[in-house]
């Protein structure tokens, strides 16, 4: 995947779709503007994010900018159709928007073609740089047999650039890599704290598949210099052992004169398969802080100590598991 000049930091578009809380149009536009000013040139969105609101806002914010200077990624797998039984809000799905539309899962060829056409309209573009099959773990066979070939057709026609898949499950993503996609987005599984995508990363490196490492903060646990008591991991309260481990990592960062968020943003890019780190950022302040942290040069000795913390936790977990089996 060719990377335009700019940071290897991508702006995740879920907050532009009012993830968890409403953001007005002006605030959303200002966030994209701040990202552009900071050097961000990769922008990820999806129909799922705010029932199309994220795509519309991103398209408006990027309108008039040189098209060759930025990369837009969106997704297929959820068509937006009229909602016959609206209740007034989409917060049950995580987005503070009216629910006049609903999501309809569709990984068929026709569904993919329709989804791409509608995304182009919402974004105001005539081509898409990256299109990912979105959260297809429960529709894997159809996604591989229908959605991927449909995207390949669009790639051959020049409507779509790179094609791939995005989710937070490792083994289904490996199936897409084996199917010959160009890129995968792995969310929350190749982070400073959670390295469970190691085998996927190796497969991507071997096949030349570009990785988009999303969710580098693991839903917030790694987003602050010192993880708070109510820190979240995978959109829920962090278990005590993960909170303790995150604080160990934070202490190592402090000792090296840096911060946990800077290390969280820097970690994925240490792997040669990673093209971008994609973070959902809600405000201009968050964007500017992430941009400054992602450009920070971190000492090699820091990584050795951070790796030791994670490796020690993994060894401890394996020992505990073995002991439990013996005790049974």
Write down the catalytic residue from 49, 70, 107, 235.
Answer: 49
Instruction: Mark out the alpha helices in the chain (DSSP H runs).
Output: 25-38, 53-62, 109-123, 140-142, 148-157, 170-178, 198-207, 240-255, 260-266, 284-294, 300-327
* 60 exposure class (CB count in 10 Å sphere: 0-12, 13-18, 19+): middle
Task: Compute the Cα dihedral for 147, 153, 155, 159 and give only its sign.
Answer: negative
Q: How many CA atoms lie within 13 A of 157 on its CB side?
A: 13
Nearest C-alpha neighbor of 263 from the set 186, 189, 192: 192
Could you give the 3-state DSSP secondary structure of residue 135? coil
Per-residue H/E/C for 151-212: HHHHHHHCCEEEEEEEECCHHHHHHHHHCCCCEEEEECCCCCCCCCCHHHHHHHHHHCCEEE
In the residue annotation, 49 being an active-site residue is answered as yes
What would you report as the CA-atom Rg of the chain, rounded to the nearest whole angstrom? 20
CA distance 143 to 61: 31
Task: Identify whether the C-beta of residue 270 lies closer than 8 Å to the C-beta of residue 8.
Answer: no
Q: How far apart are CA 212 and CA 74, in angstroms?
A: 12
173 phi and psi, to 5 degrees?
A: -65, -35
Q: How far apart are CA 160 and CA 144, in angstroms?
A: 17
Separation between Cα atoms, residue 268 and residue 201, nearest integer Å = 10
Dig out the tokens for 248 from the structure: 């160990």
Q: Which residues are catalytic?
A: 49
């Amino acid at each position: 995947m060719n990377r335009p000049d700019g940071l290897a930091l991508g702006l995740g578009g879920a907050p532009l779709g009012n993830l968890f809380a409403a953001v007005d149009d002006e605030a959303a536009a200002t966030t994209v503007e701040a990202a552009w000013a900071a050097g961000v040139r990769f922008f990820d969105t999806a129909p799922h994010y705010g029932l199309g609101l994220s795509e519309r806002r991103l398209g408006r914010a990027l309108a008039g900018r040189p098209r060759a200077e930025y990369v837009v990624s969106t997704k297929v797998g959820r068509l937006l159709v009229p909602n016959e039984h609206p209740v007034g809000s989409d917060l049950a799905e995580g987005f503070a928007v009216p629910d006049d539309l609903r999501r309809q899962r569709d990984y068929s060829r026709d569904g993919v073609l329709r989804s791409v056409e509608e995304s182009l309209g919402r974004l105001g573009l005539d081509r898409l740089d990256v299109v990912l099959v979105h959260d297809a773990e429960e529709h894997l066979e159809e996604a591989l047999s229908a959605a991927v070939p449909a995207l390949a057709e669009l790639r051959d026609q020049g409507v779509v650039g790179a094609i791939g898949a995005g989710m937070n499950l490792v083994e289904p993503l490996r199936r897409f890599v084996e199917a010959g996609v160009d890129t995968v987005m792995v969310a929350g599984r190749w982070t400073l704290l959670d390295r469970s995508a190691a085998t996927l990363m190796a497969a991507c490196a071997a096949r030349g598949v570009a990785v988009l490492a999303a969710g580098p903060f693991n839903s917030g646990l790694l987003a602050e210099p010192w993880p708070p008591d109510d820190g979240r991991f995978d959109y829920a309260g962090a278990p005590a052992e993960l909170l303790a481990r995150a604080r160990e990592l934070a202490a190592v960062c402090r000792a090296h004169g840096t911060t946990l968020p800077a290390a969280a943003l820097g970690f994925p890019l240490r792997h040669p398969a990673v093209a971008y780190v994609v973070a959902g950022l809600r405000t201009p302040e968050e964007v500017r802080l992430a941009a400054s942290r992602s450009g920070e040069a971190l000492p090699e000795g820091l990584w050795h100590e951070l790796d030791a913390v994670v490796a020690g936790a993994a060894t401890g977990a394996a020992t505990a598991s073995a002991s439990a089996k013996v005790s049974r």
